[in-house]
Amino acid sequence: MTNIAVIAGSVREGSYNRALAELAADSLEAQGARVTRIDLGAFDLPLYSAAIEAGAFPPDALRLKTLFAEQDALLFVSPEYNGSLPPLLKNAIDWASRPTGDEGLVALTAYRGKAAAIMSASISPFGGLRGLMHLRQILSTVQMLVIPEQVVVPNAHAAFAEDGSLKEPLPASLVEMTAARLVAVAGALAT
Ligand code: FNR
């Protein structure tokens, strides 16, 4: 079975991106993936510093890296902050990119050669598109294969129905399409 972690880039109560991540996780499961939902609020990650790393690798950074390393693919669902991704998510990606144990400097065991997909919900009419451009570039830098499909949910404050579903059929269908492609690509890469 294909293992996929879904990582939300917001820990805000009532977060639109967490709501979108939940829909995406459901869709991945419906398409046969084994999904791990990752709440970054459950990880005690200091802001990356070489001095902290040299002293002792933070246990939760290792826990997150190990969790990523166990996956066939990663799906990131993130807000856009000032045209980029939030420090919460960038810091998590950075910690999990660091070598541990006997690994070489650019081993990138959490990421290398795996499929990734990206989604964003934003209160703006652009749906967090600029943040996704940065996120795509960062994930490519850590040697992930980011699939071309992506999802933006604009006007997120008005986009979700009471039951958590998306009101508009277009973003809803894009979630399904992106999840299907991620499962297919992750499966193909694992063979
Ligand atoms: C934002 N927001 C925002 N939205 C956007 O579309 N483009 C942007 O550049 C920014 N910049 C930005 C900076 C900071 C510091 C904050 C706190 C917010 C608004 C953002 O879309 C909104 O807060 C979302 O609700 C955040 O996502 P969650 O927490 O609902 O998932």
At 139, the pLDDT band (50, 70, 90 cuts) reads very high
Q: Which of 18, 80, 152 most suits a substitution to test ligand 1, by most atoms within 8 Å of the C-beta?
A: 80
Q: How far is the CA of 60 from the centre of ligand 1 (A)?
A: 26
At 93, the pLDDT band (50, 70, 90 cuts) reads very high
In angstroms, the Cα distances linking 3 to 11, 36, 143, 161 are 23, 8, 18, 29
Strands (E), the chain: 3-8, 34-39, 73-77, 115-121, 145-153
The CATH class for the domain spanning 3-190 reads: alpha beta
Q: Any residues with Cβ below 6 Å from ligand 1, and which?
A: 10, 12, 15-17, 79-83, 122-124, 126, 128
Sequence spans of domains, the chain: 3-190
> The dihedral of CA 114, 95, 28, 166: what is its sign?
negative
Residue with CA nearest ligand 1 atom 14: 81
The answer for residues whose C-beta is within 8 angstroms of residue 160's C-beta and 6 or more apart is 16, 19, 166, 167
- pTM score above 0.85: yes
